[in-house]
């Protein structure tokens, strides 16, 4: 189903009775609210949406969203979501989680999912810290940052997920900020409509454990690529923006492949009709079985 053809809905239709239990002021509230607005704008029916998360504060998101969901294992949202998409490619699949989940323990799946190019959206709530385990260094923590596991300062380098995504062949690479929700909503709708793997890294500050990369810290630094004359169809220009970190940090669409290659689910011969999961007539036909047996005689 193409989300573009559906009538818009109201965001409250995606709000369940369970309220989020994140810390007051957590960046993830913005990520959730904006996602509800974005899918409402696209008019995606609740039952046509599968949200898959890993483990961590941000991975609680599917529980606060009225849709089908899987709150899977730490670092494994992408393979689980990929399996879901293959089993029912007619559904809109969104994977989400934190920076530790996606760029730490789930790093291998992150790279290969982009290379694999499944038609799904991946939202990383990036707070540069491990929150649910009460504040340890993450792959996106800045060098020198003091955390509970690096009391003398983070001795390791900082991962650049945007540059990595570009290098891994991701066709849609964007960065958002939970403190700028209208801008973020536009990234979500574009990502969901993109016919391939779309990554949005969202700065989603941890108000409890990251005293360094706060809302204020990001507000001072972020600037919108849409207002900076950036050509998002130019991979090299995207790479050069992706490298920016420090006094100025770009948010917005870093790269969108102007000629997206077909996603694997679009090309897989097994996924051309209705979703595999809807097939209730299982097993080989007599003809198929006889043909296979011929191979062994």
Please identify, among the stretches 75-83, 150-158, 166-174, 223-231, the one whose residues bind another protein according to the rule CB under 8 A. Answer: 75-83
> What SS3 state is found at 36?
helix
> What SS3 state is found at 286?
helix
Query: Which of 6, 15, 48, 159 touches another protein by CB under 8 A?
Result: 48
User: In terms of CB distance, is 92 or 140 closer to another protein?
Assistant: 92
Residue 290 binds another protein, judged by CB under 8 A: yes
**8: burial class by Cβ within 10 Å (0-12, 13-18, 19+)?**
exposed
**Cα separation, 240 vs 238, whole angstroms:** 5
Residue 71 binds another protein, judged by CB under 8 A: yes
Query: Which of 23, 43, 68, 226 touches another protein by CB under 8 A?
Result: 68
Q: Can you read off the two tokens belonging to residue 156? A: 């390791």
User: In terms of CB distance, is 24 or 151 closer to another protein?
Assistant: 24
Residue 277 binds another protein, judged by CB under 8 A: yes
Residue 63 binds another protein, judged by CB under 8 A: yes
User: In terms of CB distance, is 69 or 139 closer to another protein?
Assistant: 69
**Cα separation, 24 vs 167, whole angstroms:** 36
Residue 262 binds another protein, judged by CB under 8 A: no
Q: Residues 101 to 160: which contact another protein by CB under 8 A? A: 108-109, 111-112
Residue 279 binds another protein, judged by CB under 8 A: yes
DSSP for 102-143 reads IIIITHHHHHHHHHHT-S-EEEEEE-SSBTTTTSB--TTSPT
Rounded least distance, CB 291 to another protein, Å? 8
> Among all chains, which residue has been given the structure tokens 């609740």?
46
**127: burial class by Cβ within 10 Å (0-12, 13-18, 19+)?**
buried
Q: How far is CA 110 from the centre of its chain?
A: 10
Residue 79 binds another protein, judged by CB under 8 A: yes
Provide the 10 A C-beta neighbour count for residue 34.
Answer: 25
Please identify, among the stretches 41-49, 141-149, 167-175, 225-233, the one whose residues bind another protein according to the rule CB under 8 A. Answer: 41-49
- The residues of the shown chain that bind another protein, judged by CB under 8 A, are 18, 21, 45-48, 50-52, 55, 60, 62-63, 65-73, 76, 78-84, 86-88, 90-91, 108-109, 111-112, 268-271, 275-280, 282-284, 286, 288-290, 292-293, 296-297
């Amino acid at each position: 189903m193409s989300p573009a053809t559906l009538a818009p809905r109201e965001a409250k239709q995606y709000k369940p009775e369970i309220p989020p239990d994140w810390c007051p002021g957590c960046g993830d509230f913005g990520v959730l609210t904006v996602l509800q607005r974005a899918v409402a704008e696209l008019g995606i029916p609740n039952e046509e949406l599968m949200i898959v998360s890993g483990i961590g504060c941000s991975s609680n998101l599917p529980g606060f969203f009225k849709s089908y969901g899987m709150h899977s294992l730490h670092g494994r949202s992408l393979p689980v979501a990929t399996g879901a998409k293959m089993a029912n490619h007619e559904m809109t699949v969104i994977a989400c989680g934190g920076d530790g989940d996606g760029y730490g323990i789930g790093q291998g799946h992150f790279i290969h999912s982009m290379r694999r190019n499944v038609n799904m959206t991946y939202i990383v709530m990036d707070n540069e810290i491990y929150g649910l385990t009460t504040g340890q260094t993450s792959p996106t923590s800045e060098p020198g940052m003091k955390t509970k596991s690096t009391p003398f300062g983070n001795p390791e380098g900082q991962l650049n997920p945007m540059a990595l995504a570009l290098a891994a062949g991701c066709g849609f690479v964007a960065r958002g900020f939970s403190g700028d929700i209208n801008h973020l909503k536009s990234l979500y709708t574009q990502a969901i409509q993109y016919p391939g793997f779309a990554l949005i890294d969202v700065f989603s500050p941890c108000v409890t454990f990251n005293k360094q990369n706060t809302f204020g810290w990001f507000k001072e630094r972020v600037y919108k690529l849409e207002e900076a004359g950036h050509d998002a169809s130019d991979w090299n220009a995207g790479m050069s923006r992706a490298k920016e970190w420090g006094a100025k940090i770009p948010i917005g669409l870093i790269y969108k492949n102007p000629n997206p290659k077909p996603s694997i689910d679009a090309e897989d011969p097994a996924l051309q009709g209705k979703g595999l999961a809807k097939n209730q007539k299982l097993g080989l036909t007599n003809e198929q079985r006889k043909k296979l047996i011929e191979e062994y005689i």
